[in-house]
Chains A and B, each alone.
Chain A
Amino acid sequence: MTRSVLVVEDEPNIVDSLSFLMKQAGYGVQVARDGDAALRVMESRMPDLVLLDVMLPRRDGYDVCRAIRANPAWDGVKIIMLTAKGRELDRRKGLELGADDYVTKPFSTREIVERARKLLEGAEE
C-alpha cells in the first residue's frame, strides 16, 4: 500500500517543493495550510508521516504536534518538524512534544527525503 505524507506548511512554494519531493519518493501527498486544517485532514484520512512546520499562522506546529500525540487513534503517525536554523530550543521542544525527527530550514532536499524514507521504511518492519 502506498504510504502517505501530510505536508503542513503555509508557504505555497515550500508546499510545492515538498509535495514534489514526496511524490517523487513514491508517497501519496496531502496538504494543509494551517494547524486546524491539518487536524481536519488527519481525521478524514490518517497519514503515515506529517511534515510539520513550526511557524504556522494561528495554531503553531508545537500545538498540532501535541494534539496529534494526545489522540490515541493517531498512534504510530510519524512527525518531522521543520524548524528555523540555529534555534536549538525549538528542536528540543519539538522532540519533547513527541516529534520523531526535525530538519532545519533552509533544508537540503536530499536530507529531508532521506529522513522521511528512514522513518517510513523503519515503520514497515
Chain B
Amino acid sequence: MPRQAMLGNRVRRLRHRQGLTQVAMASQLGISPSYLNLIEHNQRSLNRPLLLKLSECFDIDLQAFSGNEEARLLADIAELFGDPLFRDIEIEAGELNELVGSAPAACQAFLALYRAYRNAREDLRGLSARLAEDPYLAASSHQLLTLLTSIRSFAEILHDNVDLAARKRQQFVAILVEESEKLTDLVNQLFEFITGEGFQDLRGADSPVDEVTDALHARHNHFPDLEDAADAARREIGLRKAGAFESLSAVLAERHGITVVLGAQDTGAEPEEGLNGERPCFGIPEALPASSATFRVARQIGLSTLGPLFEARLAETQLSTQAARDMYRRALASYFAGALLMPYDEFLEAACTLRHDIELLGRRFGVSFEQVCHRLTTLRRPGAEGVPFHFLRVDIAGNVSKRFSGSGLRIPRYGGTCPRWNVHGAFMRPGRIDRQLARLPDGATYFCIAKTETKSGGGYRAPSSHYSIGVGCEVSFAPQLVYADGMDLGNPEIAVPVGVHCRLCERRDCAQRAYPSFVR
C-alpha cells in the first residue's frame, strides 16, 4: 500500500476541523462525495493533483500530507509486532496499514503502552540482575536452603520411622523446633530487607544520571515550551552564528548582571558571587573550544531566565534526590541552549538537506559534534519529526555517561553495553567516523555511526578526557543518512550480530561474551 493510501484519516480530520460535510468538501475539490468517502476510508489514494487541489482550497501543511509520519508510525508498529510477546498473533502487513491509516492516535497509544511495558520489563531484568548479585541475599539463600534441607530431612525421618526410639525421636523433634525457629527469624529478616531499607537502597540506587535520563525519556526528549522560549530569546537577542558568544555574553552582562570572564578559573555550573559586593562572575576556561564556550553562556542564559518554566517541568517528574533535580534543571538548560543555537525548523531542514552530515551541521550552526548529535535526538515535534535517533556517549573505559534510546535500541542501564557496538571499536580509529550495521538477536537492525572526541583538560599538563559518541537509527531510516551511502543495507550478511548487554543476550556462540546470560 502506498503511503498516500494511509492519509484518509488526515483528510477526514481536516474536513471535521473545517466543519464541512463530505458533500460540501467534495464539491470544493471537484470530486464526487462517494469518491471522497472512499479516500477517507483509505480505499482510494490521495493522488498528487488532488493533494494540490486540497492545498489550494484549504490552508494545509503539505509536509503533513506526505505520509512520512504514517510511514514512521507503521514502522514503529511493525517493529512492535516483531516482539516475541506477539509470537502467536498472526498479523498481515495489510492489516497494519489499515490500523495505522484508520486509527493513528490509537496506534500511538498502543506504542506508548508497549514502550512502557518494555521499560518495565527492562527494569525488572535490571532489578533481578542486581538481586542476583546482592551479597546479603546470596548468603541468606544459602542459609535458607540449609535450614530447609535439615527440616525436610528430619520431618521425613520422623514420618518414615514410626518405631523410632523415644530418645532419638525427642532429639530429632528438638532439632526440628530449633531449625524452624531459625527459619522464622531468617524469613522475618528477609521480609524486613525487602520492604525496608535494604531493598530501598537497592531500588534507590539509581544514580541521578539514570533518574534524569528516565525523566527525559518520559518526555521523549522533546520540550515544546523550551523550543518556544528559545525561539523568542533568539528573536529578542537577534542572535546570529557569527559573534554568538559575544552577543550572548552581552545579554548575560546587561540583563542579568553576570560578567563572563574568559580564561578565568572554571566555575562550572553556577556563576560565583563576587566578593565585596562585586558582580557575579561566570568563568570560562581558556582551553574550552569556542563552540563549548558559546554553549555554556547560552545554558547560563537559560538558567537565569527560565527558572519558573524549569520548576514547572520539574514538578512533573518524580526525581528522588536534590542531585537529580539539579541535574534535570541543568539538562533543561542545556536543551534550551541547544534549541537557541540550533533553531528547530532550520536545523530539521538542514539535517534533511545535508543528509544528517553531522560535521557539516556542526559547522553550519557553530556547534560541536556532540551537540549536533544531542540535538538530533530532540527532533520529536509532532508533525515535524526528524529521524528517530539513539545517542550514547561512552568514555574510554566503556562507562556510559549519556544515553538516549530514541531509535528503539535499548541502551542498558546497568553495566556496560555489548562490546560489539561500534561506539567502543571507534576508539581504535580515533577521530574518524565509523559506521556499522548492527543486528540484535530479535532481528531488529540499526545503522550506527561512532566517532571519538577528545576534550582537552587545558594545556599540556592537564589530562584530557576521551569519549566516543555513538548515534544511530533503525535501518529503514538509514538512506536518509549520508553515512549509509554505498552500504548494502538490505544484506543481512554484512550486519554485525550484537546484543544489548551480555546478561540480556541469548547469543551463546559469541566469542566476545563478558558475562553469562540470564536469558534461557
Q: Which residues of B contact A16 (CB under 8 A)?
A: 175
Which of A40-48, A64-72, A106-114 lies at the interface? Answer: A106-114
Bound: A13/B153 CA distance, A: 10
Q: Are B154's CB and A17's CB within 8 A?
A: yes
A95 is an interface residue with CB less than 8 A from chain B: no
If the complex has contacts A13-B175, A13-B179, A16-B175, are A110 and B156 also in contact, measured as CB distance less than 8 A?
A: yes
Interface 0/1 of B140-166, CB less than 8 Å to A: 001001101111111011001100000
Q: Are A55's CB and B142's CB within 8 A?
A: yes
CB of B139, distance to nearest CB on chain A (Å): 11
Q: Are A17's CB and B148's CB within 8 A?
A: no
**Nearest chain-A residue to B142 (Cβ)?**
A55
Residue from the set A85, A105, A110 with the largest chain B CB neighbour count within 10 Å: A105
Bound: A14/B143 CA distance, A: 12
Q: Are A109's CB and B156's CB within 8 A?
A: yes
Bound: A14/B179 CA distance, A: 11
CB of B183, distance to nearest CB on chain A (Å): 11
CB of B55, distance to nearest CB on chain A (Å): 65
CB of A2, distance to nearest CB on chain B (Å): 20
Q: Are A106's CB and B156's CB within 8 A?
A: no
Interface 0/1 of A90-125, CB less than 8 Å to B: 000000000000000111111000000000000000
Bound: A88/B241 CA distance, A: 63
CB within 8 Å of A: which of B109-154?
Answer: 142, 145-146, 148-154
CB of A23, distance to nearest CB on chain B (Å): 11
Q: Are B149's CB and A106's CB within 8 A?
A: yes
Picked from B142, B146, B148, B153, the residue with its CB within 8 Å of the CB of A109 is: B153
CB of A10, distance to nearest CB on chain B (Å): 9
Residue from the set A11, A14, A16, A17 with the largest chain B CB neighbour count within 10 Å: A17
CB of A78, distance to nearest CB on chain B (Å): 20
Q: Which residues of B contact A17 (CB under 8 A)?
A: 150, 153-154, 157
Bound: A110/B153 CA distance, A: 9
Q: Are B145's CB and A85's CB within 8 A?
A: yes
If the complex has contacts A13-B179, A16-B175, A84-B145, are A109 and B157 also in contact, measured as CB distance less than 8 A?
A: yes
Bound: A55/B138 CA distance, A: 12
Q: Which residues of A contact B152 (CB under 8 A)?
A: 106-109
CB of A27, distance to nearest CB on chain B (Å): 16
A21 is an interface residue with CB less than 8 A from chain B: yes
Bound: A122/B179 CA distance, A: 36
Q: Is the interface of B mostly helix, strand, loop or mixed?
A: helix
Q: Which residues of A contact B156 (CB under 8 A)?
A: 108-110
Q: Are B148's CB and A106's CB within 8 A?
A: yes
Q: Are A107's CB and B153's CB within 8 A?
A: yes
Q: Are A21's CB and B146's CB within 8 A?
A: no
- For chain A, give the interface size range: 10 to 19
Q: Are B157's CB and A107's CB within 8 A?
A: no
Picked from A11, A21, A108, the residue with its CB within 8 Å of the CB of B150 is: A11
CB of B383, distance to nearest CB on chain A (Å): 52
Bound: A24/B156 CA distance, A: 14
Q: Which residues of B contact A106 (CB under 8 A)?
A: 145, 148-149, 151-153
Picked from A11, A18, A20, A108, the residue with its CB within 8 Å of the CB of B146 is: A11
**Nearest chain-A residue to B176 (Cβ)?**
A13
**Nearest chain-A residue to B146 (Cβ)?**
A11
Q: Are A107's CB and B160's CB within 8 A?
A: no
CB of A15, distance to nearest CB on chain B (Å): 10
Q: Are A105's CB and B157's CB within 8 A?
A: no
Q: Which residues of B contact A109 (CB under 8 A)?
A: 152-153, 156-157, 160
Bound: A29/B34 CA distance, A: 94
Bound: A13/B151 CA distance, A: 9
Q: Are A110's CB and B145's CB within 8 A?
A: no
Bound: A55/B143 CA distance, A: 11
If the complex has contacts A13-B175, A14-B150, are A20 and B145 also in contact, measured as CB distance less than 8 A?
A: no
Q: Which residues of A contact B151 (CB under 8 A)?
A: 106
Q: Are B160's CB and A13's CB within 8 A?
A: no
Picked from A14, A24, A55, the residue with its CB within 8 Å of the CB of B153 is: A14
CB of B520, distance to nearest CB on chain A (Å): 11
**Nearest chain-A residue to B178 (Cβ)?**
A13
Bound: A16/B172 CA distance, A: 9
Picked from A11, A84, A105, A110, the residue with its CB within 8 Å of the CB of B160 is: A110
Q: Are A21's CB and B142's CB within 8 A?
A: no
CB within 8 Å of B: which of A1-47?
Answer: 11, 13-14, 16-18, 20-21, 24
CB of B133, distance to nearest CB on chain A (Å): 15
**Nearest chain-B residue to A13 (Cβ)?**
B150
Bound: A110/B152 CA distance, A: 11
Q: Are A105's CB and B149's CB within 8 A?
A: yes
Q: Which residues of A contact B149 (CB under 8 A)?
A: 11, 14, 105-107
**Nearest chain-B residue to A10 (Cβ)?**
B146
**Nearest chain-B residue to A11 (Cβ)?**
B146
**Nearest chain-B residue to A55 (Cβ)?**
B142
Q: Which residues of A contact B154 (CB under 8 A)?
A: 13, 17
- 15 additional A-B pairs beyond A16-B175, A105-B149, beta carbons within 8 Å, are A11-B146, A11-B149, A11-B150, A13-B150, A14-B149, A20-B168, A21-B153, A84-B142, A85-B145, A105-B145, A105-B146, A105-B148, A106-B145, A109-B152, A109-B153
- Chain B contacts to A: CB under 8 angstroms: 142, 145-146, 148-154, 156-157, 160-161, 168, 175, 179
The 9 closest A-B pairs by CB, nearest first: A17-B153, A106-B149, A13-B150, A109-B156, A106-B148, A105-B149, A106-B152, A109-B153, A11-B146
**14 chain-A/chain-B pairs, Cβ below 8 angstroms:** A13-B150, A13-B154, A13-B179, A14-B146, A14-B153, A17-B150, A17-B154, A24-B161, A106-B145, A106-B149, A106-B151, A107-B149, A109-B156, A109-B160
